[in-house]
Amino acid sequence: MTITKGFATFLFLALFLAAPVRAETVTVGGDVFAAGADAVVDEAAGRDAFASGFSAALNGNVAGDGHAAGFDVDVGGTIGADLYAVGGFVSVAAPVGEDVTASGFSVRLRPGADVGGNARLTAGRIEVDAPVAGSLMAAGGRIRLNAPVSGDVRLTGGDIGFGGGARIDGELVYAAPEEIDIPEGVIGAERVRFIQLASDEGLREMREAFQEPGQLFWPSFFAMLWGFIVSLAFLTALGAILIAFAPRLVAEGYGKAHDRPGPSILLGFLALATLFGLVPVSAMTIIGIPLIPVVILFIVASWMLAYLLGTYSVALRLGSAFGFDAADNTRKLLALFVGLVVMAMLNFIPLLGWLINFIVVLLGLGAIALMIVDRFGGRGTAVAAAAPSEPGPASAGQQAGDGGTATSDDGDGKASS
């Protein structure tokens, strides 16, 4: 039930995030919705509250559930029921009446954020400084418990520690690379069960990467030199396959990135946070741990496709600005190849290089997410048919010749829109 509701919440936030460009707050049926670059809910909500944007905040008291998604997520108002939060840095500083479900690079329950139910936290860095009336489940690279928990506690992490205010009234089950000494004042030894992780390498790297997000996207200089040719050849071949055998999907993805770059980048970050959140979620249970390689493979594949689409979209957009004709597949592939080379060279520029590549990934991932959202909204077929063709004089001529009527294939292999 919780997973289904959480997915429905994410889907709704994705739809709402993709719509407005400027910050906007509306109230419908007692629910308060805020979306935009800085989405803030300051007013009281008689039912539920939703905030999604680059920065999202729930500052007003919410009678029902609170939902927040963004790079920076701050919850400063009382939540009467459940709280769902996902983003880069999540901070909860007000009481929550029932359960808290949060995921991000960093998640912190600050003093005053008393949790009336259960807390489910996944992040690279987790700090629990507020009491939890129910149970606590946390998975991440570094976990610190500094407050009392009335129920059972389940922890999975590479670095687990307990502060002076920590106390566990139920049972503790923790999975870590090595057994740790737990103060007697936290919990009695008879109520503790330890599960040894086979290797802490993945959790250690996750902890370090989430603490320094740039490390996720800045490959080493020598690794780039060593794998440049192989990587370029592989990405170019994969791009050629997609352009040749999935032209409508490629055109639709380009259309999303071209027409809505801002919402695509914002939605791409939300999707990226969700993808990385799958790793600690899988590590929460013994059954899920064997699935971690599959999850990581899915993340890598998604990252690769997003990078290809983002690079392709930027290359075509810049090429069209200088009069480049992308009327056939050969020219489209040439634009992709040049874009991949330029992006790879940019990686050698400290800070700026990985930032540009990261934004390109977010652009492509957001465009893919918008395509998925349209499918859920029942508009997938219409969107695919209406997707704009890539820029080029040939496309413009075809549009002028047929009066703007959409066709499928004109017989010589060239699609017109």
Q: Please name the residues in contact with 327: beta carbons below 8 A apart, sequence gap of 6 or more.
A: 392, 393, 394, 395, 414
Contact between residue 308 and residue 238 where contact means Cβ atoms under 8 Å apart = yes
CA distance 23 to 34: 7
Longest CA–CA span in the chain (Å) reads 82
- Residue 136 gets the label, from left (phi > 0), alpha (psi -120 to 50) or beta, of beta
Helix (H) or strand (E) holding 221: helix 221-245
Higher pLDDT, 206 or 126: 126
Per-residue pLDDT, 64: 94
| CATH top-level class of 2-204 | mainly beta
Amino acid making up residue 28: V
Helix (H) or strand (E) holding 90: strand 83-92
By C-alpha distance, which of 48, 15, 20 is closest to 36?
Answer: 20
For 203-225, how does the pLDDT look when each residue is reduced to its tens digit (9 = 90+)? 555 455 444 444 443 444 444 45
By C-alpha distance, which of 416, 317, 321, 306 is closest to 364?
Answer: 306
pLDDT band at 62 (very low <50, low <70, confident <90, very high): very high
Contact between residue 51 and residue 58 where contact means Cβ atoms under 8 Å apart = yes
How far is CA 90 from its chain centroid? 13
Residue 187 has pLDDT above 90, yes or no: yes
Of 49-63, 132-146, 312-326, 373-387, where does the model show the most confidence?
132-146
CA distance 45 to 56: 16
Per-residue pLDDT, 397: 36
> Of the ranges 88-97, 333-342, 343-352, which one carries the lowest mean pLDDT score?
343-352
Helix (H) or strand (E) holding 386: helix 380-386
Give me the residue label for tokens 């993945």: 202
Per-residue pLDDT, 161: 93
Per-residue pLDDT, 279: 63
Q: What average pLDDT does this structure show over 245-263?
A: 90
Query: Percentage of residues in the chain with pLDDT exceeding 90?
Result: 35
Of 75-79, 119-123, 204-208, 406-410, where does the model show the most confidence?
75-79
Of 241-255, 290-304, 375-389, where does the model show the most confidence?
241-255
Contact between residue 263 and residue 374 where contact means Cβ atoms under 8 Å apart = no
Distances (CA, A) of 348 to 198, 235, 337, 352: 36, 19, 18, 9
Compute φ and ψ for 258, nearest 5 degrees.
-75, -45
| 3-class secondary-structure state, position 15 | helix
CA distance 68 to 35: 10
Q: Please name the residues in contact with 288: beta carbons below 8 A apart, sequence gap of 6 or more.
A: 281, 282
- What are the extents of the domains in the chain? 2-204, 217-392
The mean predicted confidence, pLDDT, of the chain is 78
